[in-house]
Structure 1
Amino acid sequence: MPRRDPGPSIKDKDQYEALRDKGYSKEKSARISNSQGAEKRGGKSGDYEDRSKQDLYTEAKKADIKGRSKMTKKELMHALRNN
């Protein structure tokens, strides 16, 4: 039996289908696959305190933070967290 696309609102379609195969309802499968899909995509901002100023500067450059060359490590951490 071909699988049907559950739609764009499902974030982890493979997990959704596996849950449906186990007998979970559409709603419960969607809820579980979406909540765990968010954890896979997201991430914490990182432990900036453990990183060097150069690493933080590189991240700030990628994020196009203005004035980064004159910032201290503490200012870079603040800018990255609030960007």
Structure 2
Amino acid sequence: MADLPRFLTLADVAELLSTSVAQVYAMVRRGDLPAIKIGGRGQWRVSEDDLEAYLAELKTATRKFIDDHPFESGDGAETEDEDAIR
């Protein structure tokens, strides 16, 4: 993510992840995505480094899921994930 500011708004993060601000806010409030509150109005900011680390953790978790749940084709059975792709 070259040329990003050091700290991103939740809207910036949502745009980068192609998701909603509400989803990013939920990730922050659950503690999944580290963030800080700044200023008198308590605006949330996510550091670029924390976002990169979070994405790396997601990649690792996704790889583990794929390894633990191999895709089996040819038996005609469809998974929930396959249905979501359509």
TM-score scaled to structure 1, two decimals? 0.30
Higher relative contact order (CA 8 A, sep 6+): 2
- The structure with the larger Rg is 1
Identify the structure with the greater strand proportion.
2
Please report the TM-score for the alignment, with normalisation by the length of structure 2. 0.29
